[in-house]
Structure 1
Amino acid sequence: MEKQHAWPEDHWSWPVHVSHKHGVRCGQMIWVGGQVDITSKGEVNNPDDLPVQVGNSMRNFERVLQELGCELTDLVKLLCFYVNDGSLDEREFLAMVAKALPADARPAITAVPIPYLAYPGMIVEIEGYAMKAADGASLPRAFAEAPELSPLPATFAKALRCGKMIFVSAQTPVGDKSELVHKGDIVAQTKQVMRQIGIALKDFGADFDDVVKLNRWYVGSGTVEDFEPAALACAAHFNEPGPAATGIPLPRHAQNGQQIKIEVVAMLGEDGSRLPRRHVWPESLWDWTTHLPYKHGLKCHDMIFLGGQVSLDKQGKAVEPGNLKAQTRQAMVHIGTILKELGADYADVCKITTMYEGKSSYDVLHDNLLIRSSFFEEPGPATTGIPLPALAYPSMVIEIDAFAMTEPDRTS
């Protein structure tokens, strides 16, 4: 499919050359890579000043959209990574983001608290998606307002539908009074969150069988024991073959006692019909330590979703343990293998989101960024790279999500 790429004049840049661009427009989708407050030479502006960095990051975000013929009112989803050691109320952070948006934007949102970001002094990174008709017309939206869903500032949507796409903001485990429930119990909280997601989907006439992508943000330190119980509680809601999925451990969530946050993307025909989809699991691919219904890749209409790709074997053991460069190459090879089985290749990728084990360091980001970038010819996809203390399995040090678009499969 034809793409348009964006890199506004004098926009911020990495201090190393990469193939990635800041934004990509393809069909009705606009993908914006993680926007930050740094200079065109890769130097961090306003170190450790969260309100200022949020405002400047969102202004950078708006510039990318404008170069692609869009506005902030076309947003459908924001994914915000922000530094929080537990001292910041997440509602304060959401208010900062809301302040940078027009009141009628109303995207879905996920806020992810992390201990640091890629470059020292950088404390927020915001990526997201927008949607607009090919002829430039704004697309209508519908919103889920169920009181059972996690509360958000009025600027944001608890869940929204635009065209065939349904975006559910990350759900936290809340009860009838919008208060955190089952404190410290990750399995009970997972079941509660999935119940809320089911309510949001039902508002649009959808259910879990319509989900195409799932992201779990759970409290953990990189052990199988952290990963499996909540993974199985979440997976129980899906029939096989299920969606593409990614599970990322965090040192903590913003609320004391909160163990998990889950977001989903679903697709449904505009007439309410279930859209056919094609799933793949290439023979050479890795597996988890327990059986889960998710597949490595799926295509639905013109959208391709990949689960987070890693360097594991078929028993869930790390290949090239602790070796960031080798694992990055292997994860990227897996992405190419999955795309090929779906009739696509690296040129069809619109966005990649990378979580890697490491500190706040230019060198650690560049060690994997340059390798990821080398798999794409210029102009490449939008990208985001987020460091964390640990990932889901021991000695697994990188996980890469990929989103691609191709022409819909022909039906016989």
Structure 2
Amino acid sequence: MDASKRGFIEPGPGIASGLRDLPANLNLKTGSAGLVAAIFGCSGPALIVIGAAGTGHLTNGQTVAWLLAIYGLGGLISFVMALHYRMPITGAYSIPGAALVAGSLATFPFDQAVGAFVMAGVIVLVLGVTGLIGKVMRWLPMPIVMAMIAGALIRFGIGAVTAIDKLPLVVGAAIVAFFLSMRFVKVVPPVLSALVVGLIAVALTGSFGTNDAGISFVAPEFTAPAFTLDAFLAIAVPLAILVVGAENAQATGVLLAEDYPAPVNAMTIISGVGGILAGFLGGHNANIAGPMTAICSSDQAGEDKRGRYAATVVNGVLFAGFGIFAGAVVPLVLMLPGPLIGAVAGLAMINVLVMAFQSAFSKAAGFQIGAFVALVVAMSNVAILGISAPFWALFAGAVVSALVEWPAPEKTRPTTSATPAG
């Protein structure tokens, strides 16, 4: 039955069910996938947030509060969604959103930006409660969604290659370990082998970075929001569009590519609630994360799709811990070399990308022209009106298909009812 006929929020097995079976699904593969996703989310993206805080001349306490909001609530979202739906629906925050805010803080005082963060959460919540996003995702053809995912995530695959030029011995060792482990060592996840060998190479070559994050262990300092029309138009609206049109859309597409029936309305609603709560704490949002959902839902998290939600739980624990101890942990994590982190993240997404390309360009699925347009727009990383490429990829692909390929068989539309994959 269509989720829209059963209420705003798609039903799931329930948190009790997820908790009951969690111990049986916690293993080396789910643990390593959750760890890799957490390292990815707690390294480079954290530096973007710290840079944005510097642009706005925030105090160390305000910066720590920002990190506490986005990582603590992002981890909480992972717990709730993964355990309730028994799917690897992973929470975090919008990385492009942090870049958007960095530019805005040069113009707006931080209290007005905080007010805009809250308003962005309200917009996302309304879109989820009305079911509008779920209806759009059910209407969009599957090849266009999958092409958007391929185009948006391909940069991680390319990043694994370009990282070799930046740190040849370390990244090269990690990549070789990944494929050798995939071929010969079945009991150890290849992504864990890559990470361990990469860290050993870092230690042997002295490639650890220096502690220049500039944050000491201080208490969070919260900022009272101020609500203005200018900040609503310049920050809140673009940020809300980024959440639903980039992050949530990517996560939905990734889950569909892995044959999970994504609960789109619930994902949008909890992203709205997370955005509101994060805003009041001084963070720009807390929502479903595309790249980290891709890592936790890939085959690197185990062959049994029904157990991969445990990877998201592991990620949530690490994310929440990172937020709580941000002042002490950030400088340590940022000492890890960026090329190694990027390479391991790219390796973890190989099978997600393969499935996305296969689904996007299967002749039987149709919508090939629209899918190609979505692919190249997503790969372009273009930002128009402050809105990032994944949104425009879906829009452009749908418009082109409507002009030259519509209608097509109903089976090419995504299915988003919330029955656990099995």
How does the TM-score come out when normalised to structure 2? 0.23
RCO comparison, higher one (Cα < 8 Å, 6+): 2
- Find the structure with the greater CA-based Rg: 2
Larger helix percent: 2
Structure with greater strand share of residues? 1
